[in-house]
Amino acid sequence: MAIGLLIIWGIGQLARQLIQPKIVGDSVGMPPLPTLFLLYIGYKLGGVVGMIVAVPIGLIALTMYQEGALQTTKDSVKILTAGINHFRRLKPEDMDEVRQMQERDRRLSEELARQAAEEEAQKEAQKEARKEAFAKKQKRKEIMRNIRLRLQYEGTRYQGWQKQTSTDNTIQGKMEVLLTKMCGEPVEIAASGRTDAGVHALGQVANFHTESDMSTEEIMAYCNRYLPEDIAVVEVSEAAPRFH
C-alpha cells in the first residue's frame, strides 16, 4: 500500500512539473487538501488506477481555470496601466489648457442661452408693441373725423390705384401726399382698387381719418386745386367712424 501511494505521489509530481509550468508558472500548484480529495474520489471510483488518473485530471482542470483568471487579470492590469500612463504624460500646462477649454465651453453655452432668451424676449416685446400700436391707432380713428371721398380719374399716366413698393406713381400715392400736406398730419387713404397700369375710375369711393377741422367744402376745393388735372374729387362727406 505504501509503495502504491508513493507511486501515485510521484506521478502527481511529474504531471505537475510537466503541465503546470508550461501554462501558469511555478508559483501555481495543486493545494494539499484538493489533492487528497481527488485521490480519495479516484480510489472509490477505480481503485489504484482511478487514483492514478484523478490527480493529472485535477491538475489540468485547475491549471486551465487559473490560466483564464490570470489572463483576465493581466488584461485588466494592462488597461489600468495604459490609463495611468496617459494621465502621467499630461503636463500641468496641458491640464490647465483642458480646464480653460472647459471653462470656455461653459461660458459659450451660457452666452448662447442668454442671447436666445434675449431674442425671444425682444420678439415678444415687438409683438406686444405692434398690438399696442394697432390698438391705439384704432382707438384714435374712433375719435377722429372719417372723411369719405368720391373720385374720378383717367389713369393712363399712372400705375393703377393701389400704392406699390416699386413705384410711387399711383392714384393712392398722389392722394396721400396731397392730403398729408392739407391736414398737417400723416394720412392714409383707403379704397378698393386695382394695380393695373392705366385703369380709370368714375365715382370710386375712398375714405381717410383726420383731426383737421376743415369743412368738407374746403377739403374738396383744396384737393381739386392741387391734384393733377386727370384726378378729381367729385364729392366729400363725413362718414361714421368705422366706415370703410
- For cell 368738407, the residue is 216
CA-to-CA distance for 20 and 28, rounded, in angstroms? 7
Q: Residue 108 is placed in which grid cell? A: 459659450
CA-to-CA distance for 61 and 69, rounded, in angstroms? 13
Q: Residue 70 is placed in which grid cell? A: 490570470
- Residue 68: the pLDDT is 56
CA-to-CA distance for 38 and 90, rounded, in angstroms? 54
CA-to-CA distance for 13 and 7, rounded, in angstroms? 10
- Residue 130: the pLDDT is 86
- Residue 40: the pLDDT is 62
Tens-of-pLDDT digits for all 244 residues of the chain? 556 555 666 666 555 554 444 434 444 444 555 555 655 665 666 566 555 655 566 656 555 555 555 555 566 556 556 655 555 565 666 667 777 888 888 888 888 889 988 999 899 888 888 888 777 766 666 678 899 999 999 989 999 998 888 888 999 999 999 999 999 999 999 888 777 888 889 989 999 999 888 999 999 999 999 999 999 999 999 987 666 5
DSSP H or E segment with residue 234: strand 231-239
Phi/psi at 161 (5° precision): -80, -55
pTM value > 0.75: no
Q: Which domains does the chain have, with CATH numbers?
A: 2-86 (no CATH), 145-239 (3.30.70.580)
- Residue 216: the pLDDT is 93
What is the DSSP code string of 159-180? S-SS-BTTBS-SHHHHHHHHHH
